[in-house]
Amino acid sequence: MLKRDHLLNAATGIAFVCMLATTFLVVRREVFGGQTAAAGVQRADRALRNWNEISGDGHRMGGTNPKLTIVEFADFECPACRQFFPVIESFRARHPKDVAFVFRHWPLPYHRFAYPSARASECAAAQGRFAEFYGELYRKQDSLGLVQFRELARNAGVENLNEFDKCSGSSDSVKTISSDLALAKAMKAWGTPTVIVNGVLLSETPDQAKLEGLLAAAK
């Protein structure tokens, strides 16, 4: 009987350790983005040769002749992307002429509402309201799947809600999203959010101080 109790205790301990390890991996994935670097691999900033291609498409906001252009590949359900949202919005507000921001899609396959949200944002963009809808999605990220896209579209000022419903309810793949995904994979991006500034892929998601330093260096 005592031996069986020891075996049961050992089995319970192993199961608990496995549960902790699984929880750690899930949390790590959600906090640090869609992908993680291989063990022992050190990330480093790296210049990209196809900067014009990367910054030429996507949804552009901000200055028309900026000193700093920031491109983000992001997922609307990604917690780390949600954390970066107020950082970039505050930075843009402080430097409206000197900073341009380009949003590009990278909906992760294990996020249930990532692709539908990206599709809905493209439907809002078709009516000239991408920036407003993008903000609604991040501010209401905790409610994705509970609040209807139509409500977010109304809040974002989308005028033709019936057309928006038809567009966002489609099951077809979206060409813009597909091209963004292909580009993110081709440049071997780290995960979400991936941030590129003036042609340099950053090794980490920048904070306010980092962005201010990059702008100062660009002047």
**132: domain CATH number?**
3.40.30.10
What element of type H or E holds 47? Answer: strand 46-47
**Same domain for 96 and 177:** yes
Does residue 16 sit in the same domain as residue 62?
no
pTM: 0.82
Nearest alpha carbon to residue 176 among 118, 134, 116: 118
182 plus 145 within the same structural domain:
yes
> What's the pLDDT score for residue 43?
77
Q: Is residue 201 part of a domain?
A: yes
Structurally, the chain folds into a number of domains equal to 2
- Give the Cα separation of 90 and 101 in Å (integer): 12
Task: Please give the Cα distance from 82 to 146 (Å, whole number).
Answer: 17
| Opening angle at CA 110, ends 174 and 50, nearest 5 | 55
pLDDT at 56: 94
Same domain, 62 and 24: no
Q: Are 16 and 96 found together in one domain? A: no
Element (H, E) at 150: helix 149-155
pLDDT at 190: 80
Any domain includes 26: yes
Q: Which residue numbers in the chain have pLDDT < 70?
A: 1-42
**Structural domain range at position 202:** 46-218
Let me know whether 88 and 143 are in one domain. Answer: yes
Place of tokens 């430097």: 95
Residue 38 belongs to a domain? no
